[in-house]
């Protein structure tokens, strides 16, 4: 059975890389520019040298972080989980992607809430990937 142990150190390393080392330019441009995303990923991965020296683990952390951030994959996860849930109050159909593409939540939801829910989903995905890399790679 696959088990993951998420340690306080891993959470601190994630917070350093994703919040302390990420500039405003990186945060606002990484979904539009691979260069900005790559710069963010390099700085994000550096703290993980304290958790592992495995080139495979570090490459996995960097690659998954790039893919998740560059294409803002958390919004798809948010949309799918809502799509799989009970139907929304809009007749008998689900909200189309065009009305949910910014965060994965419908555009009539409060923007502050949908952004934070997407950020929480994004962080959860990153932490799971990092924990897997540190423990198994």
94: containing domain:
11-136
In percent, how much of the chain has pLDDT > 70? 93
* In a domain? residue 6: no
| Rounded CA separation 41/94 (Å) | 35
From 107, 43, 44, select the one nearest 75 (Cα to Cα).
107
How many domains is the chain partitioned into structurally?
1
Q: What is the pTM of this model?
A: 0.90
* In a domain? residue 1: no
Q: Confidence band (pLDDT; 50, 70, 90) for 85?
A: low
pLDDT of residue 107: 87
pLDDT of residue 21: 97
User: What confidence tens digit (pLDDT) does each residue in 16-60 have?
Assistant: 999 999 999 999 999 999 999 999 999 999 999 999 999 999 999
Which is it for the CA torsion 87, 88, 89, 93, positive or negative?
A: negative
């Amino acid at each position: 059975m696959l088990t993951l142990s998420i340690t306080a150190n891993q959470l601190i390393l994630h917070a350093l890389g994703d919040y302390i080392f990420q500039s405003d330019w990186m945060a606002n441009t990484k979904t539009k520019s691979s260069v900005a995303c790559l710069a963010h990923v390099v700085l994000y991965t550096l703290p993980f040298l304290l958790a592992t020296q495995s080139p495979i683990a570090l490459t996995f952390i960097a690659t998954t972080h790039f893919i998740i951030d560059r294409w803002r994959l958390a919004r798809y996860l948010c949309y799918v989980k809502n799509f799989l849930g009970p139907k929304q109050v809009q007749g008998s159909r689900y909200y189309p992607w065009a009305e949910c593409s910014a965060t994965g939540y419908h555009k009539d939801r409060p923007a502050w809430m949908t952004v934070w829910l997407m950020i929480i989903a994004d962080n959860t995905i990153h932490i799971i990937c990092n924990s897997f890399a540190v423990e198994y790679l």
